[in-house]
Structure 1
Amino acid sequence: MWLYRLILTLFVPPALVLRQAWLTLAGRGEPHGLAERLALAPPWPSPPAIWVHAASNGELASARPTIRAILDRHPGTGLVITTNTATGRELAESWRLEGVTARLAPADTPGAIRRFLRVARPSALIVVENELWPERLGQCAARGIPVLVLGARMSEKSHRSWSRFPRLARHVTGAIAWLSAQDDDSARRFVALGLPEDRLGPVLNLKAAFVPRSTSAALPFPRATTLLAASTHPGEEEIILAAFRTALARNPALRLILAPRHPRRSAEIARLIAATGLAFATRSKGEVPGADTAVYLADTMGEMDLWYAGAGMTFVAGSLTDRGGHTPYEPAAHGSAILHGPDVANSAPAYAALHAAGAAVRVTGAGDLAEQILRLADPATQADLAGRARAALRGADAAALSPFLSALDAALSRRPRDVHPART
């Protein structure tokens, strides 16, 4: 552990300074980014809070039902949400939840973690999925701050990597008070790395526990002929726009909602849309689409439920490039027919279940995407695929959070209140 601390203390702060300088020169500077990552930002006025950490947008979005459940169960309790990315922080801020503060996560150095804990005074740390940082977990455990991990993944490759450093692995697993793995194999691997079995909760996939909010897209487009391209990345918009333009020539009723993963790319994507000659409106500019608007550029944070609700078909992006694809649970929960590209490694079991049930359509390029858009622009076909998808993914299950909420209650009841954490 001492070597880990030494390496991060020596190299992380200067690396963060260089990164911030590069982002600033590139016109992508993070407001307060360096100060927050080094925990040097001014303190925020709040009582001790529950600390929730998620890597970025996807993990944080999957944790939203959990965050809502915590706030409902513990009214008056503050939450501080941290993410590794500025877009994740923006997503948390866009929810405008009372009592919630959003920050960039502190770097995993002794000084940054110590400063953050001194300000936040968390009563518990809830980690979403795979963010098992040794210094963060170790300092929380040393202060008696319970660490709970939700939907943790441990691949065979990650297990081999952790196994090369058994003392570090035991340091991490020993700091965890309660953990729910995403699948049985992950649970077994965590136990093999040293997690006591009595700290292992039931298997929980947060994305499978997704519960859609009751929303209405209020768009002037019929849902059946509307396609959502959800969370697109560079290199995908061109393919999607080409496919949509081809399909539109054969079915003029089609409409496209294009929702990029990172809204900061809005200007770049607007140029791509303009180059196609298609009429479009941009959400962030307050432009209201009309019935003849072919493309709606949905370049905002925190509104994906609106777009799922308004689209009978969803192309799940991140799958036409080498990014592993995004989760299919959200479109399935909203009853939207699912299309995706060839790379779905991030959610391989879910997509395998979908295809075994004939509940999703795989495309490889603009040509077959155009054909499938035309085929799926039919209410009966969409309803059939959506029903199969719900069954294959077993739908959303809010009760799946009950074991975690009980574990959190127990952890909070054992921790003395209003006690400042000890210094290390």
Structure 2
Amino acid sequence: MSYRALAHVVEASLRLRALAGGAEALRQRLALDAVAPADIWVHGASVGELTSARPVIAALAQTHRVLVTANSTTGRDRAAGWGLPARLAPLDVPGALARFLDRVRPRLQVTVESEFWPLRSQALAARAIPQAVIGARLSQRSAARWARLPGLIGPTLRRLAALSAQDPDSESWLRGLGLPAASILPPLDLKLLTPAGIVPPPPGPDRDRTLLAASTHEGEEAAVLDAWAQARRHRPDLRLILAIRHPPRGDAVAALLAQRGLAFERRSQGGTGGAVLLADTLGEMDRWYAAAGICFVGGSLTDRGGHTPWEPAAHGCAILHGPHVGNFRDAYAALDDAGGAWSVDAAGLADQAARLAEDSAQARRMGRAARAVLDGRAGDPAALIAHLRELAGRPRRPDIGREGERFDR
């Protein structure tokens, strides 16, 4: 049975269920509800994809009427929370796609990252609606799977008016699957756009004398405390912000601090200062990065794969990390090579923290180098945004800019 024939069978079954009182989510996926027209239809799988593309979506919403779709309710709700029309995406079945496109009448469809739906691609092409993919990402394994379906992936890629890959490997694999060279735009790592938009705080004595241990896990706090104690022999006024990865561990970490006889404040109890601040809350990491000139990124002394280095880089922090950074291996390698980060073990953490605490000029140089790597990798989305606007044509409503400005804020 062909892909299209199977889609017809699946849709018939799902539509019977929806018409018999199916859930609201299913009705949205089948486009059986009302939806307003839009100039640009932006689709991302879920929260992560849409959040990474938010700067681009915000820019498009300044000039055009944008509708956002997602495959998950959490992704849909996140976009709705930004003040944009948002809904679940239509399933890749003929009737749902026809109903959705009849009502929305988009002038451009933009997909975030790496979703390729053959029937969606056909339906858009049949209506001469340009298709674009931004931040396209494809693993070697996924490329190999698609290579076994050339009759589906080849035409889908050839219909694209524009594609900006997240990295050179993804672009190469997509070209091998049939992506035309004429549709390729410069690579853009969407996940770096938001941190690159952060204005780093100016260096100063308060940041110079603050060490942040960010997103630490069980087994790392003791090494951090040893490192801080050693560094204080060289710089007695050195502060420590201990921002643990999981706030429910706050009591256990507080007990460790008390066992060592250390005076400390807890952020969860209103603390803001002191020689040691136990940051056991959520949603305040930017505050801690801005406060510290030296940052150890946790999840890397114990084998947790590491956490992103781009937020501390955005704030101009000198970065220290352990050897276990498999989740961000390429990023840390680039930062290490540029002198923006140093790889350490538990003993080395103490030595290097002490070195940076004593040499503020070195810490500041590292912070500038880390920020430069981020800026170089993030790239400038202006050309991509301009190209997407050109593909979308003139907006239907002349007042849309004011709505976009409200969203962007």
Give the TM-score taking structure 2 as reference length: 0.70
Secondary structure of 2:316's match? coil
For 1:325-345, what per-residue CA distance to the aligned partner results, in whole angstroms no more than 9, with x for missing partners? 554344323211223343445
Match of 2:363 in 1: 382
The 10-residue stretch of structure 1 (34-43 or 367-376) with the greater mean CA deviation from structure 2: 34-43
Q: Which has the larger radius of gyration?
A: 2
Q: Which amino acid aligns with 1:355?
A: D
Task: Select 2:42's aligned residue among 52, 66, 73.
Answer: 52
Match of 2:315 in 1: 334
| Partners of 1:106 and 1:325 in 2: CA distance | 36
Assess if the C-alpha contact under 8 Å between 2:217 and 2:298 holds in 1. no
Residue 152 of structure 1: how far off its partner (Å)? 1.8
Check if 1:179 corresponds to 2:163: yes
Residue 408 of structure 1: how far off its partner (Å)? 0.9
Q: Which amino acid aligns with 2:266?
A: F
Residue 52 of structure 1: how far off its partner (Å)? 3.4
For 1:101-133, what per-residue CA distance to the aligned partner results, in whole angstroms no more than 9, with x for missing partners? 456666666677677667766543333333445
Match of 1:273 in 2: 253
In the alignment, structure 1 segments of 5+ residues that lack a partner are 15-33, 418-424
| Partners of 1:370 and 1:110 in 2: CA distance | 61
Residue 227 of structure 1: how far off its partner (Å)? 1.0
| Partners of 1:44 and 1:120 in 2: CA distance | 10
Secondary structure of 1:179's match? strand
**Larger relative helix fraction:** 2
| Partners of 1:376 and 1:141 in 2: CA distance | 57
Q: Which amino acid aligns with 1:281?
A: R
Check if 1:359 corresponds to 2:359: no
Assess if the C-alpha contact under 8 Å between 1:80 and 1:103 holds in 2. yes
Assess if the C-alpha contact under 8 Å between 2:189 and 2:378 holds in 1. no
Assess if the C-alpha contact under 8 Å between 2:318 and 2:366 holds in 1. yes
Match of 2:385 in 1: 405
In the alignment of these two chains, the number of paired residues is 371
Q: 1:184 to 1:395 in 2, by over 3 A?
A: closer
Check if 1:194 corresponds to 2:205: no
Correspondence 1:287-366 to 2 at 5 A: 287=270, 289-291=272-274, 294-300=277-283, 304-316=285-297, 325-364=306-345, 366=346
| Partners of 2:296 and 2:77 in 1: CA distance | 24
In the alignment, structure 2 segments of 5+ residues that lack a partner are 15-22, 258-263, 398-409
The 10-residue stretch of structure 1 (309-318 or 42-51) with the greater mean CA deviation from structure 2: 42-51
Residue 91 of structure 1: how far off its partner (Å)? 6.1
Check if 1:254 corresponds to 2:239: yes
Please report the RMSD computed on the Cα atoms of aligned residues, expressed in angstroms: 4.4
Q: Relative contact order (C-alpha < 8 Å, sep 6+): which is higher?
A: 2
Match of 2:219 in 1: 239
Q: 1:222 to 1:357 in 2, by over 3 A?
A: closer
Q: 1:354 to 1:43 in 2, by over 3 A?
A: same
Match of 1:80 in 2: 68
For 1:405-424, what per-residue CA distance to the aligned partner results, in whole angstroms no more than 9, with x for missing partners? 2321222118999xxxxxxx
